Amino acid sequence: MINVELKGGTVKEFESGVTPAEIAKSIGMGLYKSVCCARVDGNVVDLRTPITKDCRVDLLTFDEPDGKKAFWHTASHILAQAVKRLYPSAKCAIGPAVDNGFYYDFEVEKPFTSEDLEKIKEEMKKIVKSGIEIERFELAPDEAVKMLEEMNEPYKVELAKEHSDNGEHISFYKQGDFTDLCAGPHLMSVAPIKAVELTNCTGAYWRGDANNHQLCRVYGVAFPKASMLEEHLTMLAEARSRDHNKLGRELELFTTSDVIGQGLPILLPKGARIVQLLQRFVEDEEQRRGWLLTKTPFMAKSDLYKISGHWDHYMDGMFVLGDPEKDDEVFALRPMTCPFQYQAYLNRQRSYRDLPLRYNETSTLFRNEASGEMHGLIRVRQFTISEGHLMCLPEQLEDEFRNCLELAIYMLKTLGLYEDVSYRFSQWDPKDRNKYIGTAEQWDEAQGIMQKILDHLEIPYAIGVGEAAFYGPKLDIQIKNVYGKEDTLITIQIDQMLAEKFGMEYVDKDGSKKNPYIIHRTSIGCYERTLALLIEKYAGAFPMWLAPVQVKLLPVADRHLDYVYEIKKALDACGMRVEVDSRSEKIGYKIREAQLEKVPYMFIIGDKDVEANTVSVRHRKEGDLGAMKLEDFIAMAQKEISTKEIK
């Protein structure tokens, strides 16, 4: 017999080999029908997993993130089963759960149309209605490969052969006439999936490599209740209205051009103004906190990247100028600024008295992102980042890390994004040593230091194994776009390896030479990504201090133009961003246009304003604020701008 601790601290006794599904059934059929997977001593497992020792078991329903993933993973298999029934020649690639649903990649003769997706969805409903039980089984590697070859599933064969190297048995899930190579976890049957929607169909390269075959990727989402799907579709409609890729173009903040290339957006005057305001704000705040501005080249010889390790560990993500096999001198555009700023440190000998030494830079960087990964301003090939590198003594490390975090939090709160972020402690994966430099002892030391700091600062973090930079662990500040896709906005990294590789030293109090600790950090992250998130957060209605046009002057008739331009001159003198709508249109039309442009304030100027030397003010959200003296408006507006108020 074994003792199992359940939710609330209750301990129950079970026979050794009991499964989470059997535990759920012993508690009640309602729980059994709703449970999706389980967490055993912190590890997510399938409901069919035998438990053979004392442990804690958490039964996870759709309300839990891991429960959702098991639910959606099962839905992805139902999608694949439906596709194979309707299109028997289709080849299955991969079909994981993602943060906001699931997808499955297929090799098909031609991409699916919207009509095809409707047919597939109807077939999925038939499969769910049948209530098929889902079975899990394992095969030896050679048996698994043979079975998949007989099924004519080349992508699955490739995956099985990779797993066969370690000699472990390979798991499969079977539901009726469909069998798929999969690690799971999955539901016990297809029956709980009461509502499903296929949301999109795009192209995707096998393994994200443009040199591989292009597949057809079908996205979907599923729920245990139809009402939950309706709520989700309403949320999606709201998300589409806030999508920065759509709204940013409508508001003329940015555009793209096929002749320039994918992932290379053009910031139009209004978008460029917002980024300029953000950069000035960031650089001024960093200077106030003791950071020293540098300006370094956009490219360097391969020699620099070979020292840092980027050449060996990151070259696929770099734009290389020249042929490494033939040319004597090869350059590459910089994917990050750290090795460049290290040269500033190496400009002269350093003493312990010089530390901490904080370098910041508004850095334009270049990364060779795969075409399938790029999206609007969120993920691009050229971007600008608020980057910084800090060299310090061991005893200064925690205080300086705290200062970097406080700077990031200050930026997030000022922008109104703080409540939307989460923290991830990104660690190395000791099972994939080729991705990283350094020894296991160095990684254990660096991660131990970071964990101590994060715990001491009481940072509520999740752990991301395999998400570390190749030279050190990091704190990633994560944020989701309107569709629920998570990206990293800000990072703070601890690095104890690159200083030694670059020969960065300081003379300590005892005269010995030592390597400093390095903190890599961003304060606001990538400006393009931040702009995208701000567009979505505020639906284009930016806080006044960031609005590209702060006041729109709307004369009722041409006879009011002279007075309007006097007002513009006064507002210009105060540093406000003002536009005049001098078109011969009705005032109602002008107001609607300004409202669609999300301008914070409008002045509707008519005869009474000219006679009384006033301005009639309208706010985009609060509506008509009435007539007031221009100097009163300026005082109110300047306070709103200087405090960076969000309203």
Tokens encoding 113 = 């149309």
Strand ranges, E, within 239-304: 254-255, 266-267, 292-293, 299-301
The 3-state secondary structure of 155-185 reads HHHHHHHHHHCCCCCEEEEEECCEEEECCCC
Rounded to an integer, what distance in angstroms lies between the CA atom of residue 518 and that of residue 504?
10
How far does CA 561 lie from the centroid of its chain? 47
Decide: 578 and 565 in contact? Cβ < 8 Å: no
213 annotated to bind ligand = no
Burial class (CB in 10 A: 0-12, 13-18, 19+), 325: exposed
389 annotated to bind ligand = yes
Tokens encoding 143 = 């048996």
- Give the side-chain half-sphere CA count within 13 A for 45: 17
Q: How far is CA 500 from CA 34, 348, 447, in A?
A: 54, 16, 18
Give the gyration radius of the chain's Cα atoms.
Answer: 29
520 annotated to bind ligand = yes
Supply angle C-alpha 575, 581, 587, rounded to 5.
Answer: 125
Would you tell me how many other CB atoms lie within 10 Å of the CB of residue 178?
Answer: 19
At position 280, the amino acid (one-letter code) is R
Closest residue by Cα to residue 382 from 400, 365, 395: 365
| Phi-psi map region of 315: left, alpha, beta (phi>0 left; psi -120 to 50 alpha) | alpha
Binding-site entries for Zn(2+): 338, 389, 520
Q: Which residues are annotated as a binding site?
A: 338, 389, 520
